[in-house]
Amino acid sequence: MSKAVEEQASLEQQAVKDEAYMRQAMALAAEAESRGEVPVGALLVKDDKVIATGFNLSICRHDASAHAEMECIRAAGQAVENYRLLDTTLYVTLEPCAMCAGAMVHARIARLVYGAADLKTGAAGSVVDLVRSRAFNHQLTVTSGVLAEECGEQLSAFFRRRRQEKKALKMAEKKQGQ
């Protein structure tokens, strides 16, 4: 087998793994949604094993830093008993914000795989690119757009439902006031 064919086969195998792990992250996002949180899920993988997971808990915990990625990174640090998470890949359903991107750089995560782009606060290329910035002493490899449509729809459906619920509540309040 030629080297080019081997490389292509390896890339295809990685793409299959990336989708499988992203589906696990989407399941974690669904768990966040079931708790009234914005549905974002994350997991950290090392040597083809999930070492930590996380999902948004900012609303429940009244903590702006309780993003899926931060929860996952904190759990991973405890699991490996080290704040350096070398040779790991973080999978997350939504492009990380600046806070989460900074934590990934500090933790020395090797690779980031995300689903939906965040055109408002994305810090892995959409608005700014902190994870690949040469200004820092560590850069991550980034794979974007894995199951992007499905991840984006999971978020869109949540916000659509939330707007409908708020509208229904306003209508009910208005009706009671009459």
Active site residues: 69
Give the span between the Cα atoms of 116 and 94, in whole angstroms. Answer: 5
SS3 annotation, 29-77? HHHHHHCCCCCCEEEEEECCEEEEEEECCHHHHCCCCCCHHHHHHHHHH
Give the span between the Cα atoms of 52 and 43, in whole angstroms. Answer: 6
